[in-house]
Amino acid sequence: MTYGDVAGPLTFAMAEILTHGKPYAELGGKHATRYEPKPGFQERAELVLRYRAMVLEYARDLGKPLVHALGGTPLVRSWAGWLDKAVPDRASLPGGRVANADELSSQHPNLLVDLWRQAAVVAVVAREREMQPLLATMNRAQELVVLKDIGDLIRAMFRLDDRYHRLPGWQPLAGTKGGRLDRNLPTDRVVRNGTAAIRKFVEWIEPQLTPEGYTVDRLGYEPARPAHPGGTEMSEAVGALERLADVLGEETLRASSMRVLLRAQKAVSAQVSRLAGLAGDVSAQAGFQVRAKIYSDLVAATREVHGLVGDGVYSVSYSTVALDALTRARGADIAGVRRLGEALDEVDLRLHASLTGAVRRGDYFVRGAEVMVRRAGGVYASRASFEPMTVGNATGFHATLPALLPASRPQPAAAESVARRVAFGEMLAKAGLETINGEYLQRRARARLAEQRTQARIRASS
């Protein structure tokens, strides 16, 4: 497992977690005072705490040696001290422990909890196998890239801290109150804690990053190659993907089936990327990671797409068969990976043609403006309206769809690693992390000024 096998899935998992804006409700918390929490809410909340602790332990154990190796600037020293305080003590977690083997290996029915589980699994495997070989082989440029990744990971944790503060027993990160800076701290300590320290640390590293540093994605643990790579699982997966390409030329996908198929192909890309890494084909591994990102973008762009025309049961079935076979595969050779790549290219071409034709025929709709409808008795009520999907009302979908064509797909390189991390950083900034404290102070100042003006008017009138 190389560092790229860790950074990619962990970044994807955290980005997906950030898209869930109401975790308390999604985990089953009570909707209002008259409603009780759904059964299992407490257990789900405790699982999230245990999973988060494992991700934080990974960030601490990987980051501290690198921080100390950078030198003794005050900013670096303060960040090293903060890492120790940020990770909760295991005894303070629910049940006095982190997640056990069953909780890590079993898929959770709740989507948000399972995303945290995936992040924790990657973090645990990295700590056990990938970390020591990685620390022994990195140069300074590569160390800076890893530290930037850790900084972005902690920035995401801060943003999530603000959302999850209502969960039972939630433990805020050190120097914060529910994800925000603890303003009761002395001024000289505030800059060494919380979001301010993270932002300053990341801004200090960013100008020093070089393309050479992103070669760290190829370093880490190298597993033993299986004696007989491939086997029946590879043949089964290739056959299912070839049949999927044939079916896509015959079958029209309804909106619900399309979303399931896109999620399945995202998972297929991740599994083929894993097998390419086992085969030693670094270029193909990066290429399949790019494909997974494209399908992830399509999944996000089609969440509000509706349409009942067509079916898609056969396409979804063959995708599921291919994913199951790839999950069971324990190894592959370069020839097998290339066969998978050729089959996936054909799937992408057929899927692009199918989706383009469905949009052109008007099979898909997006939610439009609310309209007022008159009912019996003269009562008006609002009702959702739907309009055919176009470039104007589905810009994300139409911008991402051409990337399905292999010829127009971004080529994996060091630039792709940079772009993935930059996009994650921009996502964090867009979520409001960088301006939260400045906006808070501005609101306080405006409120104080308005209060002073009101009091002046009262005194003048009296």
237 plus 94 within the same structural domain: no
DSSP-derived 3-state class of residue 32: coil
180 plus 248 within the same structural domain: no
Q: Which of 204, 222, 240 is the last residue of a domain?
A: 222
86-90, 116-120, 175-179, 354-358, range with the lowest pLDDT: 175-179
Whole-structure pTM over 0.85, yes or no?
no
- CA angle (376, 379, 385) in 5-degree steps: 95
What is the mean pLDDT of the segment spanning 76-97? Answer: 76
Task: Classify residue 437: in a domain, yes or no.
Answer: no
**pLDDT score of 14 more than 90:** no
SS (H, E, C) 306-335: ECCCCECHHHHHHHHHHHHHHHHCCCCCHH
Task: Classify residue 176: in a domain, yes or no.
Answer: yes
Q: Which of 374, 395, 416 is the last residue of a domain?
A: 395
What average pLDDT is seen over the chain? 77
Task: Classify residue 57: in a domain, yes or no.
Answer: yes
Tell me what pLDDT residue 95 has: 86
**Tally of residues, the chain:** 462
Tell me what pLDDT residue 72 has: 54
Task: Classify residue 54: in a domain, yes or no.
Answer: yes
What is the mean pLDDT of the segment spanning 22-44? Answer: 74
Q: Which of 198, 222, 246 is the last residue of a domain?
A: 222
Task: Classify residue 441: in a domain, yes or no.
Answer: no
CB atoms within 10 A of CB 408: 9
CA count, 13 A, side-chain hemisphere, 69: 16
Q: Domain total for the chain?
A: 3
Tell me what pLDDT residue 265 has: 92
Tell me what pLDDT residue 66 has: 79
**pLDDT score of 211 more than 80:** no
CA dist., res. 372 & res. 380, Å (int): 6
Instruction: Give yes or no for a contact between 10 and 122, defined as CB atoms under 8 angstroms apart.
Output: yes
In sequence order, what are the residues at sequence separation of 6 or more whose Cβ sits closer than 8 angstroms to the Cβ of residue 394?
301, 305, 366
Tell me what pLDDT residue 431 has: 60
For residue 258, give its domain range: 226-362+397-431
Tell me what pLDDT residue 262 has: 92
Task: Classify residue 445: in a domain, yes or no.
Answer: no
CA dist., res. 33 & res. 17, Å (int): 27
Q: What is the pLDDT of residues 105-119, one digit of tens each?
A: 778 888 899 899 888
Tell me what pLDDT residue 399 has: 83
Tell me what pLDDT residue 255 has: 85
**pLDDT score of 268 more than 90:** yes
DSSP3 helix / strand / coil % (the chain, rounded to 5): 70, 5, 25
242 plus 150 within the same structural domain: no
319 plus 377 within the same structural domain: no
54 plus 164 within the same structural domain: yes
Task: Classify residue 99: in a domain, yes or no.
Answer: yes
Please give the radius of gyration of the chain, using alpha carbons only, rounded to the nearest integer. Answer: 25
239 plus 334 within the same structural domain: yes
249 plus 202 within the same structural domain: no
Tell me what pLDDT residue 13 has: 84
Task: Classify residue 410: in a domain, yes or no.
Answer: yes
Tokens 């909707």 correspond to 31
193 plus 337 within the same structural domain: no
**pLDDT score of 148 more than 80:** yes
**pLDDT score of 227 more than 50:** no
404 plus 332 within the same structural domain: yes
380 plus 267 within the same structural domain: no
161 plus 121 within the same structural domain: yes
284 plus 179 within the same structural domain: no
